[in-house]
């Protein structure tokens, strides 16, 4: 397994199908060993969720979107939020991705937690943003919040087939 470099990522973005679409500025978002993805929407959790041994009774919490102000910003109180990204990811069956919070967020007392992007996944992902800072946090729409790190698998897989395939597109 190896981490893709900026040149590898750029090459995969310009080919068809593109590794990523819907990004704001490739020159700002492309990093030496990853790609910064940006904030599209923020929502609060409105109902409890449920996960069991199998998915037959799975309940995903419902959300209520938070509106940005006229400058495109929103101030968040301490707590957890669901964020939706601008970028749509199209992972080939031999590439997976991991996401890490940008260090600027961490320095403000904010973290983004997310799941693995499985090889073969296509969609506009969501993640959990936690504002730990007791003073809150202000963020603007399209801000870079998470760095995706792409990894080449040792061989191609059958690809992701879960319920989130094609989500939010």
Show the DSSP H helices in the chain as ranges.
Answer: 6-14, 26-29, 103-107
pLDDT in the model for residue 98: 98
Residue 132 has, within 13 A of its CA and on its CB side, a CA count of: 9
Nearest to 137 by CA among 63, 58, 57, 81: 81
pLDDT in the model for residue 46: 97
Domain residue ranges of the chain, discontinuous segments joined by +: 2-47+60-152
Distance CA 83, CA 90 (A): 19
52-70: per-residue pLDDT in tens?
998 888 899 999 999 999 9
Chain length of the chain? 169
Distance CA 115, CA 138 (A): 24
Distance between first and last Cα of the chain: 29
Q: What is the CATH number of domain 2-47+60-152?
A: 2.70.40.10
Q: Is the pLDDT of residue 37 over 90?
A: yes
Q: Is the pLDDT of residue 71 over 80?
A: yes
Q: Is the pLDDT of residue 35 over 80?
A: yes
pLDDT confidence band for 152 (50 / 70 / 90): very high
pLDDT in the model for residue 114: 96
pLDDT in the model for residue 145: 98
Compute the average pLDDT of residues 87-103.
97
Q: Is the pLDDT of residue 1 over 80?
A: no
Cα angle, residue 147 at apex, residues 141 and 150 outer, rounded to 5°: 135
């Amino acid at each position: 397994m190896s981490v893709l470099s900026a040149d590898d990522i750029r090459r995969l973005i310009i080919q068809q199908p593109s590794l990523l679409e819907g990004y704001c500025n490739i020159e700002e978002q492309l990093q030496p060993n990853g790609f910064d993805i940006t904030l599209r929407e923020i929502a609060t959790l409105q109902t409890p969720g449920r996960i069991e041994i199998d998915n037959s009774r799975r309940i995903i919490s419902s959300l209520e979107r938070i509106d940005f102000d006229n400058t495109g910003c929103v101030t968040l109180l301490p707590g957890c939020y669901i964020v939706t990204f601008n970028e749509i990811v199209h992972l080939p069956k031999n590439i997976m991705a991991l996401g890490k919070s940008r260090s600027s967020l961490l320095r403000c007392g904010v973290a983004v937690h997310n799941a693995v992007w499985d090889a073969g996944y296509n969609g506009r992902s969501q993640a959990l943003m936690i504002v730990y800072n007791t003073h809150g946090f202000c963020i603007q729409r399209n801000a870079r919040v998470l760095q995706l790190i792409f990894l080449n698998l040792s061989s191609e897989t059958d690809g992701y087939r879960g319920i989130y395939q094609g989500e939010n597109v």
